[in-house]
Chain A
Amino acid sequence: MKNILLLALKSLRNRKFTVCLTIVSIGLSVALLLGVERIRTESRNSFTATISDIDLVVGARSGPIQLLLYSVFRIGHATNNISWESYQDIAALPSVLWTIPISLGDSHRGYRVMGTSTEYFTRFSYGGKQKLVFKKGAPFADLYDAVLGAETAQTLGYSIGDHIIISHGAGDVSFIEHADKPFVVVGILAPTGTPVDQTIHVSLEGIEAIHVGWKGGSSVGGVKISADQARRLKLTPKVITAFLLKLQSPIATFTVQRTINQYKEEPLTAILPGVALQQLWELVGVAGKALIVVSACVVVVGLFGMLTTLMTSLNERRREMAILRSVGARPVHIFSLIIGEAILVTVFGIITGVVLLYSLLIIGQPLMVARFGLYIHIAFFSGAELVLLGAVLLAGIVAGIIPGWKIYHYSLNDGMTIKT
C-alpha cells in the first residue's frame, strides 16, 4: 500500500494546480470549522466564568436566571431591593467570609452605573482566578470618584480626570440627570471580556449621595442639596440591589443558600452562579451551535469540490488504469489509488487548515484580548476538535469511495483494453 500511496502522491503532483486549489478550499473550510469551535469553546469558558470564586449571589426574591441577568450581566431590572439591614444580617453569618454589595439603577449614556465597595476591586474575580486589573488609575477613594470598565472608557472616549454625569434610571436615553453631582474618572480597568467592561463603578455612598432628597425615582421638589452639602450627610445606603457572597468553606453553600431563601425578614433568593450561568449558556449557546453547523456545511462544500475534481479526471484516467492493470495492479489497487488521492488531498487540506488556524490565532490573539477581552488559548487540539478533524478525514474518505468505486468497476470491465 505504501507504493500505491506514493503513486497517488505523484499523480496529485502532476495535477498541481487543481489539486492545490482543492487543498486550499478544504484548508479554509477546516480553519473556519476549527476557528468557530475554538471561539465557541473559549466564549463558553469565558461566559461560564463571568464571575468566579463566588459561592452565592443574593438578591430579592426572583428566578435564578433573572437574578443572574441583572446582578452579573446588568441586563433587565431587579424586581425589588434588599434592605441594608438584611444585608448586614446575612453578611454577619459566621460561615460568611466576605461579601460585595451591588447597587444598580442608574446609568451613564447607556452604560450601567454600579455602586459597590472598594473590596470589589480586590475580591472580584472572573475567568478562573483572574482579578481585576487597572489599566490606568486606581480604585475610587472620594465620594464622587468613578472607575470605568474598559469598553465604557474606550467607546465613550474617557480618560482619567474626565467628568461624567450620571442619569437616573437604566435607559439608554434618560432625561433625569444627577447633573448637580458630577463624578470624576479616577480609574480605568483592563478588558475582561465580562460585563465589567461595560460598567461604571462608583461607591455605594456615591449612589446614596446623588439620591439624597429623591424619593421614588424623582427629586422631591424644592429641596436642593449640593454636592458639598451631601458630603456632610450620613450616607449609609438604605437599600442595595444584590450582593455577592463568599463562604469560609464551600461545603456550607447549600446550608447558607437555604438560610437565605428562608430568611424571615425579607423574601430573598440566593443562587449558585456557576449553575445559573450554565443554564443561561444553554440558551445563549444555540448561536454557537448554529455556527458550527454552518461551518460543517462549508467543509462539506470543500469536499464536494474534491469529489468533482476526482470525478472529472476519471474518464481521462481510464487509460492510466489499463496500464496499471497490465503491469499487475489489481482492481483493489486502482481503488486504493483513488481513495489514496482523496485521503492525501483531505490530509493536506487539514494540515493547511490547522496551519492557517494557528497563524490566525497567533496574529489574532492580542487583538481579541484588546477588543473583546476574549483570551483564546493557543493550545493543542481539544478532544472535540480532534473529533471534528476525524470527521473531516472520514468525510474525505467517504467522498473518495465514490470515484474509487466507479474506477474499480471501470477497471474490472475494461480490463486492459484502453477505452478512451
Chain B
Amino acid sequence: MLKQNSVKELEPSCPDENLRPVIDITGLSFTWPKGLDPVLEIEQFRVDRGELLFVIGPSGCGKSTLLGLLTGILLPQQGVVEVLQHKISCLSEVARDRFRADSIGYIFQMFNLIPYLSVIENVILPCQFSALRRERVLQQASSLKEEALRLLGHLNLNDSRLLAKPVSELSVGQQQRVAAARALIGGPELIIADEPTSSLDTDHREAFLRLLFEECRSSGATLVFVSHDRSLAPFFDRVVDLNVINKVSGGGVGDLA
C-alpha cells in the first residue's frame, strides 16, 4: 500500500506553486445519486496557500458534501474541483485515496481516535498509509514516535502518564488535540477540520484554535475549518459563508441555525 511513486505524483508541476490556490472550485454542481436536485452548486471557490479559512454553515447546507468533494470521497457531476493542483475527477479511486493520505489531515467533530491504539499510535497512523508523510517525518526526526511526541508537546500533551492512558480515558479536549497532532504529522498541505471544537467549552475552544493555528503556520499548511459557530469567525484570516457561495439554498434547514 505504500507506493514510492506517490511522492513524485504529487509534486506540483507548476514552478510558481506558492501562488496557485490550494483549492480551486469552478462551476461545481453535485447531486446525490438518488436525489433529483443538486445539493451543492458553487460558481467559484478558492483557497490560497497558507490561508486559515473559516467556512461557516449550519448543518444541512451541504457542508459534509463539500468536505466529501474536497477529500475525493465524492465526485461532482459538473464543474472542476482542483485540490493542490489535482483535478479530483481525473484521479482514479486508488489515486484519490492515496492523495488524501498524502496531502490531507482531517479532524472530526469528536471521537477522532481509534480506541484500540495508544495515543502515539493514533498520531502516527497516517504514516502507515502515506509513504510521503512518513518520509517527511523521518527527514526531520529520527523516528515517527519522536515526531509524534514533538507535536503532542506543542499541543501541551507531554505528560508521560497521560500518553500511557487508553485513548478512551482522555478528556474530549485532549482527544481533539491528539487528533490535531495526527492531522499535522508528516506535514500535509491541507488540514480540514469538521466542527472540531463543537464538543469543547469556550476556554478550551480558544486554546485549541490557537494551538492549531500555530502548528498550521509553522508547517505552512492551509486550514479549512468548518463550523456553524459564528463566534469563532474573528480568529480566522478569512470567513466564507457556505450559504452564500452555495447557490442551492432552498434546504430550509440551514436557516434555523
Contact = CB atoms under 8 A, between A and B. Distances in A.
A328 B98 contact: yes
A371 to B, nearest CB: 48
Given A1-B1, A320-B115, A415 B74 contact: yes
Interface in A326-359: 326-330, 333
B115 to A, nearest CB: 6
B14 interface: no
A324 interface: yes
B246 interface: no
A416 B67 contact: yes
Contacts of B73: 325, 415-416
B106 interface: yes
A13 interface: yes
B80 to A, nearest CB: 20
Contacts of B116: 10-11, 13-15
B60 to A, nearest CB: 13
A292 interface: no
B114 A323 contact: yes
Nearest to B111: A319
B106 A326 contact: yes
Nearest to B117: A10
Interface in A8-60: 10-11, 13-15
Interface stretch (B125-133, B205-213, B218-226, B227-235): B125-133
Interface in A384-420: 415-418
Main secondary structure of the interface of A (DSSP, over half): helix
Nearest to A415: B73
B182 A327 contact: yes
Given A14-B116, A319-B111, A415-B68, A328 B97 contact: yes
A323 B1 contact: no
A328 B101 contact: yes
Nearest to B110: A418
A326 B108 contact: yes
B113 interface: yes
Interface residues of B, number: 31
A312 interface: no
A416 B116 CA distance: 19
Contact of B1 (A10, A11, A327, A333): A333
A416 B68 contact: yes
Nearest to A8: B116
Residue of B71, B111, B117, B129 with most chain A CB atoms under a 10 A cut-off = B129
B243 interface: no
Interface string A75-93: 0000000000000000000
B140 to A, nearest CB: 20
Contacts of A320: 114-115
A328 B68 contact: no
Given A328-B126, A330-B97, A323 B113 contact: yes
Interface in B144-179: none
B221 to A, nearest CB: 16
B115 A327 contact: no
Residue of A3, A14, A322, A323 with most chain B CB atoms under a 10 A cut-off = A323
B102 A330 contact: no
A11 B116 CA distance: 5
B129 A329 contact: yes
Nearest to B100: A328
A13 B118 CA distance: 12
B101 A327 contact: yes
Contacts of A323: 108, 112-114
Contacts of A322: 108
A3 B112 contact: no
B112 A328 contact: no
Contacts of B71: 326, 415-416
B64 A417 contact: yes
Contacts of B115: 14, 320
Contacts of B19: none
Contact of A418 (B68, B97, B101, B108): B108
Contacts of B93: 330
Interface string B83-117: 00000000001100110111000101101111111
A330 B1 contact: yes
Contacts of B106: 326-327, 416
Residue of B101, B128, B130, B182 with most chain A CB atoms under a 10 A cut-off = B128
A17 B209 CA distance: 40
A418 B130 CA distance: 22
Contacts of A327: 101, 106, 125-126, 128-129, 182
Interface of A: 1, 3-4, 7, 10-11, 13-15, 319-320, 322-330, 333, 415-418
27 contacts: A3-B1, A7-B117, A11-B116, A14-B116, A320-B114, A322-B108, A323-B113, A323-B114, A324-B125, A326-B106, A327-B106, A327-B129, A328-B101, A328-B102, A328-B126, A328-B130, A329-B97, A329-B101, A330-B1, A330-B93, A333-B1, A415-B71, A415-B73, A416-B67, A416-B106, A418-B109, A418-B111
Closest 5 CB pairs of A and B: A328-B101, A14-B116, A415-B73, A328-B129, A326-B106
Given A7-B117, A326-B71, A330-B1, 12 more contacts: A3-B128, A319-B111, A324-B114, A324-B125, A325-B73, A328-B101, A328-B126, A329-B97, A415-B68, A415-B73, A416-B71, A418-B109
